[in-house]
């Protein structure tokens, strides 16, 4: 199969014509080759999905196919391989448009990930529109990637960074948000879902209130894109960012959405090939979005892999898959509460499939190390959310995060592994 055949497949797949949508976790597991691995002589129980998701074979094949059958650069090449790569690359942008619910493909920018997308907005729009005396609002649950760039912007221009707390359940304190939101607020940056607590923020309401004050809103969708239906126009946000590697795609690629009228307010972030209109000794004019923000050779193989990941999502019965995830999350919480000394952090009413916990005074790194010997992969540490850890009065937590290919057997393996942890540190 050549690269030129990819777009035709994508069109029929995304349209859902004649497709039988899939949702059975046991059957879907066979699409992910790494799940056939053993770790320390045990079957792999992968519960680190909030850090990065596993990749289905179709995504791996798409990346391999690009390198083995094409490997040409995109745009402006007149030879066949370049034309095939360009067609497939442009088709991937259209797939991303559909996945996000954007109005047009030119509103979707390929970044290197969530972090690079946020930094692009902070350096481009932020430097041009935020100044001394202005205010930026973030929540205390933000990942460092949606905290540090705004802190750096505030320090650069003399603005003030204000932090919205959480309520006792771990939900965003909307009352505090309303009080902190003023006529001086220029930007609100909020995670759609927390990578530690799983808390889902009321983004539509946050956007509505911010826009009433004349502020822009950036939504970090790194954790929501794999677990919630995304419709950026319904959310009403000014920017939405997410990472390919957390939603079944390759590393090194992510998405930045912005309405054209917002992107038009943003000067170039990086200069180089592909982002120009005309270059002369006297000066340079710049291309329109999205090219203006994609200087240099893009991560072509990763973009094609992300397109294949979106094809995979389009082949799933997503409402059913998300419901099954919610049921698995409820089962996991029920089982974990039977473990003596285990304390779950956060109990917001709306959450995605992330559970952060402590187990008595056992260090989370010790928990993770022992679980690894049982084949159970979790995350341990501050999860790049140190302000949240301090807010919760913790140094670190263990974190189990689930995807649609996880099963109750995985949860049971986690609980059995925690029993061994307790025995070892009793």
Q: Using alpha carbons, list the distances in angstroms from residue 301 to 3, 9, 32, 71, 86.
A: 11, 17, 19, 8, 11
Separation of alpha carbons 35 and 231, rounded Å: 31
- Write the DSSP string, 46-63: E-BTTT-----HHHHHHH
Structure-derived torsion over alpha carbons of residues 333, 336, 337, 339, reported in degrees to the nearest 10: 180
Give the three-state DSSP class for 248.
coil
CB 85 within 8 A of CB 66: yes
CB 354 within 8 A of CB 223: yes
Separation of alpha carbons 228 and 297, rounded Å: 31
Separation of alpha carbons 18 and 98, rounded Å: 18
- Write the DSSP string, 251-289: SS-EEEE--HHHHTT---SS-STTSEEEE-SS-EEEPPT
Eight-class DSSP state of 246: G
CB 50 within 8 A of CB 226: no
Separation of alpha carbons 64 and 76, rounded Å: 23
242 carries an active-site annotation = no
SS3 content of the chain, % helix, strand, coil (to 5): 45, 20, 35
Please pick, among 157, 176, 180, 384, the residue that the annotation labels catalytic: 384
Locate 396 and state its tokens.
Answer: 């670190």
Report residue 396: phi and psi, to 5°: -165, 170
Catalytic residues: 384
């Amino acid at each position: 199969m050549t690269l030129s055949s990819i777009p035709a497949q994508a069109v029929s797949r995304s349209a859902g014509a004649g497709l039988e949508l899939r949702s059975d976790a046991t059957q879907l597991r066979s699409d992910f080759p790494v799940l056939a691995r053993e770790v320390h002589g045990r079957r792999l129980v992968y519960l680190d999905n909030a850090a990065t998701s596993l990749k289905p074979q179709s995504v791996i094949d798409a990346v391999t196919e690009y390198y083995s059958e094409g490997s040409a650069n995109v745009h402006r090449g007149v030879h066949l391989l370049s034309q095939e790569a360009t067609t497939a690359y442009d088709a991937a942008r259209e797939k991303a448009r559909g996945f996000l619910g954007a109005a047009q493909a030119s509103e979707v920018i390929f970044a290197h990930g969530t972090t690079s997308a946020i930094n692009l907005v902070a350096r481009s729009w932020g430097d041009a529109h935020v100044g001394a005396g202005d205010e930026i609002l973030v929540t205390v649950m933000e990942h460092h990637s949606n905290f540090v760039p705004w802190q750096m912007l505030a320090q650069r221009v003399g603005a003030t960074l204000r932090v919205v707390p959480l309520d006792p359940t771990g939900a965003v304190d909307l009352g505090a948000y309303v009080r902190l939101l003023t006529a001086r607020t220029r930007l609100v940056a909020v995670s759609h879902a927390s990578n530690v607590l799983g808390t889902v923020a009321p983004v539509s309401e946050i956007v509505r209130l911010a826009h009433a004050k004349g502020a822009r809103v950036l939504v970090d969708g790194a954790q929501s894109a794999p677990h919630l239906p995304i419709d950026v126009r319904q959310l009403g946000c000014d920017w939405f960012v997410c990472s390919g590697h957390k939603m079944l795609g390759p590393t090194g690629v992510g998405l930045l959405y912005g309405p054209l009228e917002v992107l038009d307010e943003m000067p170039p972030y990086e200069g180089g090939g592909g982002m120009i209109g005309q270059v002369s000794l006297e000066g340079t004019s710049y291309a329109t979005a999205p090219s203006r923000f994609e200087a240099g050779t893009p991560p072509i193989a990763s973009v094609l892999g992300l397109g294949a990941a979106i094809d995979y999502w389009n082949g799933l019965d997503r409402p059913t898959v998300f419901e099954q995830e919610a049921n698995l999350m409820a089962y996991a919480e029920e089982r974990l509460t039977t473990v003596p000394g285990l304390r779950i952090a956060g109990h917001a009413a709306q959450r995605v499939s992330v559970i952060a916990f402590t187990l008595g005074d056992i260090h989370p790194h010790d928990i993770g190390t022992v679980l690894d010997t049982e084949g159970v992969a979790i995350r341990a540490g501050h999860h790049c959310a140190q302000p949240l850890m301090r807010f919760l009065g913790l140094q670190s937590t263990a974190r189990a995060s689930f995807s649609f290919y996880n099963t109750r057997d995985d949860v049971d393996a986690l609980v059995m592994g925690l029993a061994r942890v307790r025995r070892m540190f009793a």
